[in-house]
Amino acid sequence: MGAGPALAKRLGYAHVGRPFRGASLSPWKWRKFGRAANHPPGPQFSTTGLGEPITFRMQLSTRVEEENDASRSMVDSLRTNDGVSCRICRGSHFTAVCPHRDNLGVINQTISLDPTQMEDVGKTPAGRYVPPIMRGRMGAGSNEPPAYTIRVSNLSEFMYEDALRTLFAKCGIITRIFLATDRPVDRQGNIIRNSREPPRCKGYAFVSYLNKADAERAIQEYNKYGLDNLIMEVDWARSKDE
Amino acid sequence: MSAKSVSSTIRPFQLRGHARPLTHVRFNNDGDLLMTTCKEGTSLLWSSYTGELLGSYEGHGGVVWSFDFTSDSRKIITASGDMTSRLWDTETGKELHMISAPSTVSDASFSVGNKMFFIVTVNNMNQHSSIVIYDATSFELINRIELPRDLRFTCALWADCNTRIIASLSDHTIVSYNVRTGETTGQATTAHKDTITDMQMSHDGTYFITSSRDMTAKIFDIHELSQIRVYTTDSPLNSASIDNIKGHIFLGGGQDASQVTTTHARSGKFETRIYHEALAEELGRVRGHFGPINTLHVSPQGTHFATGGEDGFVRLHEFDQNYHDFKIEFDENFEPSADVN
């Protein structure tokens, strides 16, 4: 035959769907067999356990970005990302694995002498050593990632950090938790050293999230939430400047 | 080219059914079943959604090295060190057929469409290593591909609509054979520098990935056996799998089992590494095992991945939304760098 168009006639459309799971077999209707023959339905503790939650980061390695983005200035690439921050290149990885450790370490030393940073140094009283942690804003160095912190108050005195973490981890990744506690005291008000009692909660705590959306969700979710016969209050934490 | 980094949190199932190092871990075609085998000789079937043990296939008297599901998951073929290969009914665990081999059976696989299967035997017991192809219904022998005494098949795959079998040899080469005639149709002589430990076919069957003890994984084309991508790592690799949905490569391995107790768990490099398939760049690492990862597989739907370790544990991970959301944005004028292969 010649090279004419193929003969075809469109009769209609058929939607070929795909079942959600287990096209041919549904294991939920099976009888278990072999070693599991006597197991009741559902996972058994003897064979199935839940491991620790694992958090891993998916990102393009900095080497690729640098190769393909050579036009970006070196200083620009030193911006802090969220989460972990490298001391050398300010990338979002640990300093020990920094790909620029050998070549950028030297450059970084010169950058640290640039005038904007010199100003900060100048503010400190002359001739007195000020530890890095005390420079700039009290305690919080400017290198810290932006943490979205919420203040949780009206907690019961039996609150402990793990419980708080379990509760608030449902809303997102927590970078820091501070639970204000009192040391146990005797009747005269003296601190009991080596007490076997756990420290008592002062009634408030601060929870920092990695993402702002998570913190917002936590406020929505847990404000006026009942816990230990008390109604929890959750709101944005205010810094001392405000 | 840019990508917003995402943080993915997974709470894996730890499946404790095996007492010895895992040999093979695979999902079925639908991704709802997970089968695991170990050196103790047990083959266990799990539900990949709930992590529950559904059953075991009892009968082998030695290590089960490998197995394969049919594409409809109704049958399973296992390859064992007790010099047999057995066919099982998936749902009831009954043994349907047994094939005796002259030596250890190291691999078994159904063809596309399940009409044939092959078993791979090794060159111990004064035997030649061979790939033996059978009809899956009548169990008649279709063909037999044999190697010289000093060589051994390490892995094998059906390819090209069941017309060819691609096999890796113990001399670190990859060879493809015609199924009917047994002739060599292609060869990659410098595929790897060390033992090839695993080969897995891509979803569309046009390329496959190999992992090797020489610390690299490579993607090869099935027709020319030409090398398409190289993934270079810093530890010997035992397994490599392709997430066809996201275009990611999962690599598992670690230093030799004999060296494990001499170093810290972190330096043993027992993490699963995730690479970008096209860019050949590392994207992330998933930790969890205390020993080298012997085998790993990403479900065909790209929703789960399972790793089986030398430590005897299987870890079944379900990806969270952040993993699925991870995306690399390419510029319009993006050109891949020339050194990817």
Phi, psi for residue A24 in degrees, rounded to 5 = -95, -30
Mean pLDDT, range B319-323, rounded to an integer: 90
* Residues A114 and A174 occupy one common structural domain: no
Over residues A26-46, the mean pLDDT reads 80
**For position A70, what pLDDT does the model report?**
41
Looking at residue A103, its pLDDT comes to: 60
Pair A109, A169 in one domain: no
Position B18 pLDDT exceeds 60? yes
Per-residue burial over B272-309, b = 16 or more CB atoms within 10 Å of its CB, e = otherwise: bbbbbbebbbbbbebebbebbbbbbbbbbbbbbbbbbb
Per-residue model confidence (pLDDT) at position A122? 42
How many domains is chain A partitioned into structurally? Answer: 2
Residue B163: pLDDT over 50: yes
Task: Give the dihedral sign, CA A110/A116/A120/A121.
Answer: positive
Would residue A99 count as lying in a domain?
Answer: yes
The yes-or-no verdict on residue B65 having pLDDT over 70 is yes
Interchain CB distance below 8 Å, A24 and B55: no
DSSP H or E stretch at residue B216? strand B216-221
Contact A154, A233 (CB under 8 A): yes
How much is the average pLDDT of B196-213? 94
Mean pLDDT of chain B: 91
Of A29 and B129, more confident: B129
Tell me what percent of the residues of chain B surpass a pLDDT of 70: 95
pLDDT in tens, A54-112: 888 888 864 444 334 443 444 344 444 446 677 766 667 777 777 666 665 554 444 44
Beta carbons of B293 and B285 less than 8 angstroms apart: no
Asked whether residue A24 is assigned to any structural domain, the reply reads: no
Question: How confident is the model at residue A184, as a pLDDT?
Answer: 72
- Confidence label for B5 from pLDDT (cuts 50, 70 and 90): confident
Calpha distance A68→A62 (Å, rounded)? 10
pLDDT digits (tens, 9 = 90+) for A112-142: 444 444 444 444 445 567 666 665 554 444 4
CB contact residues (below 8 A), chain B span 49-68, against chain A: 49-58
Same domain for A217 and A168, yes or no, is yes
Q: Is A171 in the same domain as A223?
A: yes
Chain B residues 170-209 with a CB less than 8 Å from chain A? none
Q: What 3 state SS string does B121-179 have?
A: ECCCCCCCCEEEEEECCCCCEEEEEECCCCCCEEEEEEECCCCEEEEEECCCCEEEEEC
Q: Which letter does DSSP use for residue A185 in this model?
A: B
Long-range CB pairs of B182-186 (<8 Å, 24+ gap) are B182/B143, B182/B144, B182/B145, B186/B223, B186/B224, B186/B225
Look at A58 and B279 and tell me if their CB atoms are within 8 Å: no
Q: How many CB atoms lie within 10 A of CB A221?
A: 13
Mean pLDDT of chain A: 70
Residue B103 to residue B251: CA distance in whole angstroms? 30
With a CB-CB cutoff of 8 Å, which residues 237-276 of chain B face chain A? Answer: 274, 276
Q: For residues A32 and A72, which has the higher predicted lDDT (pLDDT)?
A: A32
| Residue A46 falls inside a structural domain | no
Contact predicate B60/B76, CB 8 Å: no
Return the pLDDT at A120: 45
Note the helical H segments in chain A.
62-68, 104-111, 115-123, 161-168, 212-222
> In angstroms, rounded to a whole number, what is the distance separating the alpha carbons of residues B169 and B120?
11
Q: Which of A41, A43, A57 sits opposite B284 (nearest CB)?
A: A57
Contacts 24+ apart (CB under 8 A), A157-161: A157/A200, A157/A201, A157/A202, A157/A203, A158/A200, A158/A201, A158/A228, A159/A201, A159/A205, A159/A228, A160/A198, A160/A201
> Which domain range does residue A173 map to?
148-236
Contacts of A34 in chain B (CB under 8 A): 55-58, 93
pLDDT score of A17 more than 90? no
Answer whether CATH 3.30.70.141 is correct for domain B1-16+205-341.
no
